[in-house]
């Protein structure tokens, strides 16, 4: 990689907005694809995203904005994906294997592609023939809202190609962002999916009325569940206590900005899944992720009582109070 490499951000939501903000600190040009032309016109004129993190003001002289995905992809060397996993396949439907030839793809998506039950890195590897060494993951612990406020935050950039990871890390690193690199693309990505599931569990328990004492037990069991699953799916030497795993779990399970915790809290208070989704008007990745993990785990058969409880509540429509009461006897 070299300083002249072109970077494109794919997506128009809060994470995409936060990543563009970070990149503008270090890059001369940032390509940005947003599907909605009205939103693009607003950004060009008023220098902020009208729908997400509206306080972030952009230096639009650095932004190359387009609603033409093929054009954006063709001009970039590195693509940072920030489209919710449930909509990723549809967003990319006009692209072919040839469009991704020689591209590096980094995923800032914390979910699984539902139609394939694949984490995002595996999806690009199998569907677009991108070598694993050209695939990376951008993970937390980091909420987009705190990036917007320029509060000190940490990111982990994972790739099997250290040069690629270091380059992307250097482009995101700034006064309020510190970066670390890792080679664990599978573990960090699966962990990012699971922490959303456990944040839903945390929210459900809060909505029902469980207190901080139980939350501590829930989350300490959750990190053990993450470790058990990722060690079976991709067994390598990793420190599950590091920020990319434990830190990301903690911030997602406890933060006021966690949309998955918010979603779970509404379910715990008696909202239906559908009404909670409509009320939030945001995507809770854990809703899709828990079903995919449930399906994937049919093969691996890892003991995952918290994941199973969230699945039973969200998809089998079992009473949150009853399911969580049963869960309390399975935790230690």
- 325: annotated active-site residue: no
Nearest Cα residue to 180 out of 226, 244, 105, 236: 244
Choice among 101, 195, 301, 325 that is catalytic: 195
Which two tokens mark 153? 């935050």
**195 touches 263 (CB < 8 A):** no
User: Where does residue 155 rank: exposed (0-12), middle (13-18), buried (19+ CB within 10 A)?
Assistant: buried
Q: In what order do the strands lie in the sheet with 177-182?
A: 63-66, 30-33, 7-10, 78-81, 104-107, 135-139, 153-159, 177-182
C-alpha–C-alpha distance, residues 219 and 48, integer Å:
36
User: Where does residue 28 rank: exposed (0-12), middle (13-18), buried (19+ CB within 10 A)?
Assistant: exposed
271 Cβ neighbours under 8 A, 6+ residues apart: 279
**201 touches 310 (CB < 8 A):** yes
Nearest Cα residue to 85 out of 225, 165, 190, 204: 190
C-alpha–C-alpha distance, residues 151 and 25, integer Å:
15
Q: Taking the CA atoms of the chain, what radius of gyration do you get in angstroms? A: 19
Location of structure tokens 């947003």: 34
Please tell me the chain's helix, strand, coil percentages from 3-state DSSP, rounded to the nearest 5. Answer: 55, 15, 35
Active-site residues: which are they? 195
């Amino acid at each position: 990689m070299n300083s002249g490499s072109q970077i494109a951000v794919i997506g128009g939501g809060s994470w995409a907005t936060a990543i563009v903000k970070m990149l503008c600190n270090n890059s001369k040009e940032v390509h940005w694809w947003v599907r909605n032309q009205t939103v693009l016109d607003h950004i060009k004129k008023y220098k902020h995203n009208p729908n997400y993190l509206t306080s972030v003001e952009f230096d639009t002289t650095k932004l190359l904005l387009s609603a033409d995905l093929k054009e954006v992809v063709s001009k970039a060397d590195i693509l940072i994906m920030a489209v919710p996993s449930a909509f990723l396949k549809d967003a990319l439907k006009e692209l072919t294997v040839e469009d991704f030839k020689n591209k590096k793809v980094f995923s800032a998506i914390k979910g699984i592609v539902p139609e394939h039950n694949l984490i995002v890195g595996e999806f690009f590897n199998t569907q677009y023939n991108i070598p694993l060494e050209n695939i990376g993951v951008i993970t937390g612990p980091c909420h987009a809202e705190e990036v917007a406020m320029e509060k000190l935050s940490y990111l982990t950039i994972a790739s099997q190609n250290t040069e690629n990871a270091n380059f992307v890390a250097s482009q995101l690193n700034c006064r309020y962002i510190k970066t670390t690199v890792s080679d664990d693309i599978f573990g960090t990505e699966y962990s990012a999916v699971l922490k959303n599931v456990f944040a839903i569990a945390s929210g459900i328990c809060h909505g029902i009325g469980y207190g901080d004492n139980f939350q501590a037990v829930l989350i300490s069991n959750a990190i053990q569940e993450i470790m058990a699953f990722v060690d079976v799916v991709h067994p390598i030497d990793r420190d599950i206590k590091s920020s990319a795993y434990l830190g990301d779990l903690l911030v997602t399970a406890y933060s006021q900005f966690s949309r998955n915790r918010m979603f779970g809290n509404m379910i715990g208070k008696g909202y239906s899944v559908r009404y909670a989704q409509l009320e939030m008007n945001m995507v809770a990745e854990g809703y899709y992720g828990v079903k995919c993990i449930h399906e994937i785990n049919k093969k691996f058969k890892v003991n995952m009582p918290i994941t199973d409880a969230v699945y039973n509540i969200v998809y089998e429509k079992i009473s949150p109070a009853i399911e969580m009461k049963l869960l309390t006897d399975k935790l230690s």
